[in-house]
Amino acid sequence: MRIFSPLYRRAMQWARHPHAPAYLGTLSFAESSFFPVPPDVMLAPMCLAKPERAWRFALLTTLTSVAGGLAGYAIGHFAIELITPWLQTTKYWASYQTATGWFRDYGFWAVFLAGFSPIPYKVFTIAAGALSMALLPFTLASFVGRGARFFLVAGLMKWGGARMEAALHRYMDRLGWALVALVIAALAIVRI
């Protein structure tokens, strides 16, 4: 069943849109504080569509993501009591509890890891604010972690260029279904 190929073609059309950088910045900001979709899904096709602007897109994504992280920090610092009842009813509650434990043990490195990895960064930004982590180390860890991730994505897409775009187009449905299978397997393992 070919579901992912049409979505990929649509993403590539959006990536070439004149307002795509503004959308990328907005998505990056929102993802760091409350939105569930990572900016990589927009950054990668934009870097493929315009490889000569890949570094600029990575920088934009990093800056707006860190700004969103600071907004998440503010939410945690000033409004954790208001959002805790809601947070407890979401799938993020366990992640939030893990994040607070990691902060007690690792501080800076917990933020760096969350910024670089697919762990929900927004949970760590809110937890950092709730636990009053020092703002300068939080910001530095966010810049380093998020920057490393987004520049890596941009670099891979720029390096792969047209070949990468053609390969992704050819194998998009297989890759999409493989990702679905991995997510289902991960959820099954977590539930066991």
Please report the pLDDT score of residue 92 as a whole number: 78
In the chain, how many domains are there? Answer: 1
CA dist., res. 82 & res. 34, Å (int): 14
Please report the pLDDT score of residue 11 as a whole number: 63
* Complete DSSP assignment for 68-137: HHHHHHHHHHHHHHHHHHHHHTSTTHHHHHHHHHHHHHHTHHHHHHHHHSSS-HHHHHHHHHHTT--HHH
Range of the domain at 115: 4-191
Please report the pLDDT score of residue 183 as a whole number: 60
pLDDT tens track, the chain, 192 positions: 566 566 666 666 777 788 989 988 988 898 888 777 788 888 888 898 888 999 999 999 999 999 999 999 999 999 999 988 988 888 878 888 888 888 778 888 888 887 877 777 888 898 899 989 999 999 999 999 999 989 988 998 888 776 766 666 666 566 666 666 766 776 667 666
Please report the pLDDT score of residue 144 as a whole number: 94
